[in-house]
Each structure stands twice: as structure tokens, then as C-alpha cells.
Chain A
Amino acid sequence: MSIDWTEYSTGNFYDELIAEDCSPREPATRLVNYLGSLSTAEINKRKEMAESTIQEMGVSFTVYTEEGNIDRAWPFDIIPRTISASHWEKTAKGLKQRLKALNMFINDLYHDQEIIKDGVIPAEIVLKSKNFRPECVGVTPPHGVWANICGTDLVRDLDGQFYVLEDNLRVPSGVSYMIENREITKRVLPELFSKDSILPVNNYPAHLFDMLASLSPRDISQPEIVVLTPGIFNSAYFEHAFLAQQMGAELVEGSDLVVEDDDCVYMKTISGLEQVDVIYRRIDDEFLDPETFREDSMLGVPGLMRAWKAGNVALANAPGAGVADDKVVYAYVPDIIRYYLQEEPLLPNVETFLCSDPEQRQYVLENLDKLVVKPANESGGYGMLVGPHSTKKEQEQFATLISKNPRNYIAQPTLSLSTAPTLCGSTPEPRHLDLRPFILQGKNLFVTTGGLTRVAMKKGSLVVNSSQGGGSKDTWIVEEKR
């Protein structure tokens, strides 16, 4: 017995690997044929190999309980998702364009607010966002760039086109899993790497390092770069440690850092205090500095904002960058690109209705059963209404929520998220997925080769968040044969 692809039904969705006539799409040809050549027993063996590799590599989420820590193994499907290199090249251009414009937008907001004066975006949209930080007005971070690391979620609709679902400009996570997924796949399907031209993903930490170094306020050959983590209890701690290790940077917690009277940041070392130049912080704005933001924060460093404003330390991402990952701002991104770059957006947005606009709100309220309603400032897939899957009662609850606080909600049509074959037992079944590439901007711009593919493991589910039972796949950017 082996996989019979003619039994695989893509349904009414765009499948990443298999076309409607059950033949493999071009970049997936070798992969699909190879998987078809493996016996069921062999498929199961590879699956087990992946599981034990994940355990050995210690790729995990950590859940801490009263009884001690539980390491939940990283949920992983062994069938990679493929994208052709030429298609990716275009997508990458669009991602760079988007981040460049977003950074110009953030910089403008904290300075002259030209875009508001020119009437492109209403003032209240921006100034009412809870991620707009008045403390940051007038500051110019290195290269005028606020969001140095961005994770943009892409989805593919029925037409096979990528759409941007959201931009994560605060502390996007997942990039370490992108790299580990590749390491796992290399061990599980080694045969394919010798035949196909699959572009590597492991250059990300080097680019991250160069980008961070380009932010150093001191012009020295070896700036001190640190990764600031909230600590072992954070679910992304694995990633913080991974990136620090890959970059050869120190992994620090707030308690390892101190801001002295000279407004410089130092870390406590075995030979005393050493100055820190760049902090890749994986702590939310509110917890960064108890002197400026939440007084009760035990995670941050008192005086950090002072040091940052004085230009003595670089923070990536800069505080306040989150103002542009508000879902209401999202609706304006195409206009933002046109305004700052005088270019047409290369990557389309998903159609978005703003509940703050009376006309659009009316449409949303009348079509709650068809739309996806999202709060403007939540991440992780929380607090959403998925219209077609909701009850009348839930719809009524959301109608009340929207009427009470229209600024806080947006709505989008239900997308036909693309699928890819995912092993259920030893048979592939279509499961919905998305893609999160990571974009870096310091002195230069960089986009990962592909990104992190997240997949909804439950049949028909559209929720891919790993905090809610989603899994992941390796993402292959495959060069075409010439």
C-alpha cells in the first residue's frame, strides 16, 4: 500500500501541491511522486523519525504547571509545502515594499504626521490606537526604521494569489520553527534534497545579526548585541534562546541589565558592567520600562526608555512600532504604500470593512453570518467571530460589541484558505494553511526564503495558531528546472 493521489480530493479550495485533476503542481512534482513511491510502512517510519527528531532536538513549547514544566512537542507534518522560486521572488518584493512603506508611515506619525495633514488617513484612527505611544513622539531610531523585524501573515485564496492577512510589527515569533522545520525535514526526507533545488532557510540568523549590528549607536567593530527575553516561562523562550545562540549574542533577562546615570545600558557580567548597544527585545512595549510604562513590570529595565531616547541604545523593534499593526491601520496600507512610495502595492490586502465607518458598519452588522470579525488589537486568533461557523447568539453578542466600540472592530469576507496534503494517520488529507515570512529592515531589507507555514490540523478548521492546536510544515521554495 502507498499513497494514491487520485483518492486525494482538493474540494473547493486551492491546493498547494495537487491540482484539480490530481496531478502535482510543478514545484511539487518530485515531492508528490516520491511520496507516492513510499509504502505505508515507510511513510509511518518517516513520521516516527520526525517525532523522535523533534524530541531529541528539544523543539518544544513549554507549559509550566504547579507540578513542574511540561514540554509540549512542536506539532509538525512531514509533507512540505512548496512554492515556486519565481512566484516567491515577486512575493518577496511585495513584502519589502510593504515594510518600507510601513516604516515611513510610523516615522511620519511620530514626527510631522504629513499623512494625516494630507487627509490620507483620519487622525482618530491613529491617535486612538492603543499602540500609539505619545512617549515616542520626536524620536528618530537608526535609519528612521521602527519595525526592524516584521512577520507578515499571507494566505492564498481560490485564485492562487497571496493576500496579506496581517502585519505583526511588535514581537513576531515563529522564525526559529521555520529553521528547525527544515532541519527535521532534512533528516526525514533526505533523498529529496539531493535531487531538487530547494533554497536554504538557515541564513536568517546571520541576516538578523547584521541588521541588528547596523543599528548600533556606537561605531565599533563588535557592538554588544543582546536578546531580551521575559524568561523561561514565556512560551517563545525556545526561540529566544535559539536566536541568541545562532547569533552568538547574549540572552538576557531584565534583571541582567541596568541603566546608569549616564543613560547608557549595561549588563552584569563576571568582570563587572559592560555596555550594551543593541537590544533585540522580545518583551511587549508595556513591560519594557517600569519608569515609563507599567510600573508593576518585573520583566523590563528601569530607565530603558531614557537610554533609548538619548540614542545610547537601539531597541528592535522600536517602542511604538505596533501602531502600524493595528487591524484598522491595516485597511489603509495600500494607500500608505501609494502615499510614501508612489507605487502600486505589489501584494493585495484582504478586503476589509471598518466598523468605525457608519456605512461599512451597517454592511457588517447585516452580514455577520458571512464575515470574519476581528478585534483591532488582539493577536493569536483570540476574540474573533467566524461568521459561517457561529451561532445566532454569538452573532448577537458581536453586534453589541461592535455597536459599543466600533473603532475596535474590523470585518473581512471568509476566505477560501488554500490547503495542502497533511498526513492524517498515513493518508494525506487537505488541511488549511497560511504562511508567515519574516522581513528585516535596518540599513538594508531582507526577506526569508519562504517562511513559517502553519496548518490547521483539524478538518475544515481555519485556525492555524499554535497556541490553539495548529501545526506546521516545512516550506520549500523550489527553483524551476532550466
Chain B
Amino acid sequence: MLSKVAERMYWFSRYIERAENTARMVGVYDNLLFDLPRSINISWFNLVVINSSEDVFNARYTVKDEKNVVKLLLADSTNPNSMSSSLLMARENVRTSRDVLPLPLWELINELCMYVSEHIRDGINRTNRHGFLDNVIKGCQQINGLLADNMSKDAAWQFIRLGRNLERADMASRILDAGITAQLSSSDVEQDLDPSQIIWGNVLRSCDGAMNYRRTMRATVEGTRVCQFLLHDKHFPRSITFCADQIAAAVDLLPACEIEELAKLKTLLAGEPGELDESFSDYLNDLQLSFANLHMQFGQCWFALDR
């Protein structure tokens, strides 16, 4: 398989995953902020922080309100991480690799991009936002479903797996990080309602994991357990350990190459997170650095063949 095509597969799946995650997170916030007391310090701007898009935001907008945040995250073509940009990049990667992907994928991604460009106002205004985001998520899931069922599980598929799981793990670590930050900043405020339930419930929903958490943990939503679940659960497809296992399995099936970072990530994940304080934030930071190293090593190993 061509190195260039491998790289496109990898990016295609990262972008689809990114688009789906962004749509889900906006949806979760949309839902959450309806029933939150004003005293609790969760604002739309958190979403910008989770996506590391503060610079892009500040360059474009001054008011940190819902409309601007949602615009930046869903529609902004100058934000390379926006949902629209991600989908267009995914489409571009499919367009240039149609020879290794199932035929109907091209139609699906076209339909999805057309739907988004025609209905983007529904995403920005509140009235139809839920339905709009739902359709985008369904569109992404349809694409993943098609690939799962129709695509030969060859090298191209392994690169798709690498991209999807790395993106997913990275996003989970960011969502956890946002949870910790919110927890730390809200604990010193006196209030009747325990914000912790809301914060960690929100974290779970952002990873589409509320139901799975309840079934697996058989406990109320509580910070340490949620972190435990999203870090270590062996079976939940969006837990970081699950993603890391998927990455390791895909690497095994690709032409022999030393991905040294995998061992480091495994060691990191074997450690127990302690208290939910700054040290946990540092731990998540180490995870994110490890993901960045993985990304770099994939590139050196399979994509760049300059001799």
C-alpha cells in the first residue's frame, strides 16, 4: 500500500472522529446548560479550551458567548478543527483515495458534507440544533458502519483504526481534563447543589458513556470512578485503555516497525490516578504528550519514506 494513501486513511478517520466528537460535545453542552444553576462555573467557552482553540477564537471573536463558541466549533472555515472543516478534510482524503475505499463511502461523505453546508444555520441557532447535530453524528456513524461491514480488513483498515483510536483517546483525555478543571474551580464556591454530579455526568455524556458507566460501574456518577472508567475500562470503545489496545493491535498487523511510544503509553496507563487534583491534570498532560509522540512515530515509520 502506498505511503501516501496510508497517511490519507489515517487522517480521514481522525477527521471523521473529530467531527463526530465536536458535534456530540456541542450537543451535550446544549442540553446541560439548560438546567444548570448560574453559580456553577461551566461556560460554553470550556469547549474552546477542550479543543485547544483559544488562539483561533481570540483572533476572530471578543465575546465568549454561546453563539460565537458554537460558530467557531461547528461552522468556522478558518478554524481547522471545526466540524465543517473536519468533514471537508475527511472528504478531501476520501476523494484522493477512492481506489482503496468502498464505493458507497464517497456518496456518504458527499451527502454528509452537503447536508452540513446546507443546514449549518440550524447548528448555530438553537431551535433546530439538536436535530442537526443528531444527523451529523448519525452520518459519521453510518460511515464507520459502512467501513466496519464492507471494508477489507487490510492495511488501509489498520490505518483507519490507528487514526480513529488515537483521535478518540486524545479527545477523552481532553474531556477528562476539562472535568478536572471544572471540578477544581467550582469546589471553593458555596452552594446547595453538588456540582460534581453535573460535571462528571457531562464528561460521561461527552464520551457517549453514561449508560455504559452505569452498567459497568454499578455506582452513582462520581469523579474518581468516572476517571477510572474512562481511563481503564477494558470494554468501553471510548476508554483510553481500549483505544490504546486497538492501536497496539493495529500496529501489530502492519509491516514491522518499532513504535517505541506504545510501551511508554502502556506504562502510563498501568499507573493509578491519585486524587483528582493538579497532579491528575499533570498525568493527563503526560498522556497527551504520549499521543503526540505516537502520531509522530506513525509518520516516521509509515508515511515519510524520504530516503
Contact = CB atoms under 8 A, between A and B. Distances in A.
Interface of A: 55-58, 227, 232, 241-242, 244-245, 248-253, 255-256, 267-272
A244 B96 CA distance: 11
B36 interface: no
Given A269-B3, A270-B155, A244 B99 contact: yes
B44 interface: no
A268 B101 CA distance: 19
Contact of A250 (B5, B101, B111, B155): B5
Question: Chain B's interface: helix, strand, loop or mixed, by majority?
Answer: helix
B274 interface: no
A271 B255 contact: yes
B64 interface: no
Given A244-B99, A269-B1, A270-B3, 15 more contacts: A56-B107, A56-B111, A57-B107, A241-B96, A245-B103, A250-B5, A251-B97, A251-B98, A251-B99, A255-B4, A256-B4, A268-B305, A269-B3, A270-B2, A270-B254
B302 A270 contact: yes
Contacts, number: 65
A270 B255 contact: yes
A177 to B, nearest CB: 15
A248 B255 contact: no
Interface string B74-89: 0000000000000000
Given A252-B2, A269-B2, A270-B255, A56 B110 contact: yes
B29 interface: no
A58 B107 CA distance: 7
B193 interface: no
B33 interface: no
Contacts of A241: 95-96, 98-99
A271 to B, nearest CB: 4
Contact of A58 (B4, B6, B99, B110): B110
B283 interface: no
Contacts of A256: 2-4
A268 B2 contact: yes
B143 to A, nearest CB: 14
B236 interface: no
A252 to B, nearest CB: 6
A256 B5 CA distance: 10
Contact of A248 (B99, B110, B155): B99
B172 to A, nearest CB: 27
Contacts of B255: 270-272
B45 interface: no
Contacts of B254: 270
B120 to A, nearest CB: 16
Interface string B87-122: 000000001111111010011001100100000000
A241 B91 CA distance: 14
A249 B98 CA distance: 11
B2 A55 contact: no
Contacts of A58: 95, 106-107, 110
A268 B4 CA distance: 8
A227 B254 CA distance: 24
A347 to B, nearest CB: 35
A242 B2 contact: no
A94 B2 CA distance: 41
A253 B302 CA distance: 17
A58 B106 CA distance: 7
Contacts of A56: 107, 110-111, 114
Instruction: Identify the interface centre among B4, B5, B96, B103: most chain A CB within 10 Å of its CB.
Output: B4
A252 B100 CA distance: 12
Given A58-B110, A270-B155, A270-B254, A250 B2 contact: yes
A388 to B, nearest CB: 43
Instruction: Identify the interface centre among B95, B106, B302: most chain A CB within 10 Å of its CB.
Output: B95
Given A242-B98, A245-B98, A270 B6 contact: yes
A232 B97 CA distance: 11
A255 B110 CA distance: 28
B96 A232 contact: yes
Interface in B281-307: 302, 305
Contacts of A269: 1-3, 305
Contacts of A249: 99
A55 B110 contact: yes
Nearest to B302: A270
Contacts of A270: 1-3, 6, 155, 254-255, 302
A252 B99 CA distance: 10
B114 A55 contact: yes
Contacts of A272: 255, 305
B10 to A, nearest CB: 11
B186 to A, nearest CB: 43
A270 B158 CA distance: 12
Contact of B99 (A232, A250, A271): A250
A393 to B, nearest CB: 45
Contacts of B155: 270
B110 A267 contact: no
Nearest to B96: A232
Interface in B37-58: none
Contacts of B3: 256, 268-270
Nearest to B91: A58
Nearest to B6: A270
A245 B5 CA distance: 13
Interface string B245-275: 0000000001100000000000000000000
